[in-house]
């Protein structure tokens, strides 16, 4: 048995049939080029008779792509086959994929026909396709629910008619892996001339068995798998390319090899997900956001001791270079230290202890802590040096309420508080501060940014505060943006204090004002 497994990608045909996933021709060319780089053997570029847009995409992809075979779908209808052949005009390697339903349901309720007539039509479509191209793939639609004896007759007839590849689709995703494997084995053992064609799997995921069925097909003699990136496809989708590629790579016992450059998988997956507006479920095998993330302390510890303790795939093998350790409230000091090392940050033992305490406080408020958060925690050394510190901030705000803020400041060890109203909570808090520290300041710029994605994220605030014709920059970061804003304002005020006027003068000022 050959050990080369051909990867037939149908992201642009079966995948693109999904409502909401349609791409324009330019995007399809981009995807086709990415698939070529990934190393797929066949790109099913579309169903040319279905629309002028599909026809045009097959033409343009044929021009743009160099080495993979370009395949066009057709029904067992002469006009379909002619149009498919026209669309493939510029392909360097071309294949027509034609076929007909072979199950009891399809023969009786779709074609209102009988088994003999269906065999005749199958032979005719292959012969007609063969008059245009050498490489003809035949699909027996709903082969998953077609009895094996009849299926074998159809397959034997189409191979005799010239089919080079015979596709055995489990169109409804019904088969169990043993049943599907048994079907492929039956064809392999009972179809005369089967060695002149490649058997192809085409499994749908309605019962979550598409990949298992494809693998059962491979172990029983199939040497082409029809797949889509991210398993995208109608209903529950198709067999996912990345799963098959990684299963084959991880299990030598399967004795097959693909041409897939697995390092390009993640990039291609992200690109297709975003172009097709089809988010990837976080726990999706291989490409999901959590596929290589360890969040429990025990697993993190195990992975840090040796990756293989909990990982069967190196994330780098699929092009993911991020750390697999997800920092959460359950992470230990070792996990934090590991991330610091990756970020090339060296801390003393005492400093690590204090950063870890701050990290745990942050992790209680924010689900996962990313590298930017860590940088902020580590960089946030100013608090201890600041002479004016924020002890307490309480705001009342909302629709139909007058925003109020109560502030308590620690100035060189002494406590001062004030409550003021304002046109918003930040304005109220700054007015409270101004009522304690009588500084003439003017906010010149006030920028709030979320560090990453979620609503639980850290907000970063940059401020430019004008005082005595000089601009002072203030920075604050907190999961609460009002606190971050006030920290930024105080950061700027502290810089003013350092700039000539010492805290004692501050205190004098305050005392004067309180007289």
Look at the alpha carbons of 297, 299, 303, 305 in this order and tell me if their dihedral is positive or negative: positive
In the list ligand KIV, Zn ion, none, the entry touching 491 (Cβ below 5 to 8 angstroms by class) is none
In the list ligand KIV, Zn ion, none, the entry touching 420 (Cβ below 5 to 8 angstroms by class) is none
What gap in Å lies between CA 474 and CA 104, rounded to an integer?
74
What gap in Å lies between CA 203 and CA 216, rounded to an integer?
11
For Zn ion, the closer of residues 14 and 60 by Cβ is 14
What gap in Å lies between CA 201 and CA 14, rounded to an integer?
14
| Contact in structure between 486 and 459 (CB atoms under 8 Å) | no
What gap in Å lies between CA 150 and CA 22, rounded to an integer?
36
Name the minimum Å distance from CB 462 to ligand KIV.
54
- Please tell me whether residue 41 binds Zn ion under the rule CB under 5 A: no
Name the minimum Å distance from CB 85 to ligand KIV.
18
| Contact in structure between 286 and 229 (CB atoms under 8 Å) | no
For ligand KIV, the closer of residues 44 and 242 by Cβ is 44
Name the minimum Å distance from CB 18 to Zn ion.
11
Angle (CA) 59-63-66 rounded to 5° is 130
- Give the helix, strand, coil percentages of the chain, each rounded to 5: 45, 20, 30
Q: In whole angstroms, how far apart are CA 468 and each of 327, 479, 497, 499?
A: 44, 32, 12, 11
For ligand KIV, the closer of residues 101 and 315 by Cβ is 101
In the list Zn ion, ligand KIV, none, the entry touching 457 (Cβ below 5 to 8 angstroms by class) is none
Interface residues with ligand KIV (CB under 6 A)?
A: 14, 139, 141, 167, 169, 171, 202, 204
Give the number of residues in contact with Zn ion, rule: CB under 5 A.
1
For Zn ion, the closer of residues 210 and 377 by Cβ is 210
Backbone angles phi, psi at 144, to 5 degrees: -55, -35
Pairing of strands 404-411, 388-396: antiparallel
425 Cβ neighbours under 8 A, 6+ residues apart:
395, 396, 397, 403, 405, 482
In the list ligand KIV, Zn ion, none, the entry touching 137 (Cβ below 5 to 8 angstroms by class) is none
For ligand KIV, the closer of residues 119 and 291 by Cβ is 119
For Zn ion, the closer of residues 233 and 474 by Cβ is 233
Name the minimum Å distance from CB 239 to ligand KIV.
11
In the list ligand KIV, Zn ion, none, the entry touching 201 (Cβ below 5 to 8 angstroms by class) is none
* 213-216 contacts at long range (C-beta below 8 A, 24 or more positions apart): 213/170, 213/175, 213/176, 213/177, 213/180, 213/181, 213/239, 214/239, 214/244, 215/177, 215/244, 215/247, 215/254, 216/177, 216/178, 216/180, 216/181, 216/184
For ligand KIV, the closer of residues 171 and 224 by Cβ is 171
Name the minimum Å distance from CB 140 to ligand KIV.
8
Name beta bridge partners: 478: 459
Nearest to 433 by CA among 447, 417, 413: 417
For ligand KIV, the closer of residues 235 and 251 by Cβ is 235
Name the minimum Å distance from CB 203 to Zn ion.
9
Name the minimum Å distance from CB 211 to ligand KIV.
15
- Please tell me whether residue 242 binds Zn ion under the rule CB under 5 A: no
Subset of 151-210 contacting Zn ion (CB under 5 A): none
- Please tell me whether residue 80 binds Zn ion under the rule CB under 5 A: no
- Please tell me whether residue 14 binds Zn ion under the rule CB under 5 A: yes
In the list Zn ion, ligand KIV, none, the entry touching 139 (Cβ below 5 to 8 angstroms by class) is ligand KIV
For Zn ion, the closer of residues 234 and 457 by Cβ is 234
- Please tell me whether residue 44 binds Zn ion under the rule CB under 5 A: no
Give CA torsion, residues 354, 357, 361, 367, to 10 deg.
110
Name the minimum Å distance from CB 233 to Zn ion.
7
Name the minimum Å distance from CB 263 to Zn ion.
28
Q: Which residues bind Zn ion (CB under 5 A)?
A: 14
């Amino acid at each position: 048995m050959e050990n080369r497994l051909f990867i037939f990608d149908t992201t642009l045909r079966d995948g693109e049939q999904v409502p909401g996933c349609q791409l324009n021709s330019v995007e399809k060319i981009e995807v086709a080029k990415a698939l070529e780089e990934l190393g797929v053997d066949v790109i099913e570029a579309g169903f040319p008779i279905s629309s002028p847009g599909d026809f045009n995409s097959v033409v343009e992809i044929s021009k743009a792509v160099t080495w993979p075979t370009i395949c066009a779908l057709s029904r067992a209808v002469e006009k379909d086959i002619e149009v498919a052949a026209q669309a493939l005009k510029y392909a360097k390697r071309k294949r027509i994929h034609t076929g007909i339903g072979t199950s009891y349901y399809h023969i009786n309720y779709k074609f209102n026909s009988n088994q003999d007539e269906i065999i005749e039509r199958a032979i005719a479509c292959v012969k007609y396709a063969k008059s245009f191209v050498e490489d003809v793939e035949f699909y027996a639609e709903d082969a998953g629910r077609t009895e094996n004896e009849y299926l074998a007759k159809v397959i034997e007839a189409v191979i005799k008619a010239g089919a080079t590849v015979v596709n055995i689709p489990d169109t409804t995703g019904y088969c169990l892996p043993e049943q599907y494997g048994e079907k492929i084995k039956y064809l392999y053992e009972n179809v005369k001339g089967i060695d002149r064609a490649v058997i192809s799997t085409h499994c749908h995921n309605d019962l979550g068995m598409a990949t298992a069925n494809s693998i059962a097909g491979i172990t029983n003699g199939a040497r082409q798998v029809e797949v889509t990136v991210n398993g995208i496809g109608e209903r529950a989708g198709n067999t996912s390319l990345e799963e098959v590629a990684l299963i084959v790579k991880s299990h030598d016992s399967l004795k097959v090899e693909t041409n897939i450059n697995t390092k390009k998988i993640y990039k291609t997956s992200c690109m297709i997900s975003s172009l097709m507006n089809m988010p990837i479920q976080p726990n999706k095998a291989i490409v999901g956001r959590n596929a290589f993330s360890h969040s429990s302390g025990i697993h993190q510890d195990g992975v840090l001791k040796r990756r293989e303790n909990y990982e069967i795939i190196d994330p780098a093998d699929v092009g993911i270079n991020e750390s697999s350790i997800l920092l959460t409230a359950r992470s230990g000091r070792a996990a934090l230290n590991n991330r610091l090392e990756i970020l090339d940050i060296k801390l003393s033992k005492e400093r690590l202890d204090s950063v870890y305490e701050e990290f745990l406080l942050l992790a209680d408020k924010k689900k996962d802590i990313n590298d930017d958060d860590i940088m902020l925690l580590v960089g946030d050394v100013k608090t201890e040096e600041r002479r004016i510190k924020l002890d307490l901030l309480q705001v009342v705000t909302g629709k139909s309420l007058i925003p109020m803020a109560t502030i308590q400041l620690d100035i060189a060890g002494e406590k001062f508080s004030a409550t003021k109203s304002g046109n918003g909570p930040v304005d109220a808090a700054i007015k409270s501060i101004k009522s304690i520290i009588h500084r003439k300041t003017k906010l010149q710029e006030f920028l709030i940014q979320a560090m990453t994605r979620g609503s639980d994220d850290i907000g970063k605030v940059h401020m430019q505060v004008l005082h005595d014709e000089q601009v002072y920059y203030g920075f604050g970061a907190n999961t609460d943006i009002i606190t971050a804003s006030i920290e930024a304002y105080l950061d700027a005020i502290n810089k003013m204090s350092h700039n000539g006027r010492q805290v004692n003068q501050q205190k004098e000022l305050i005392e004067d004002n309180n007289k």
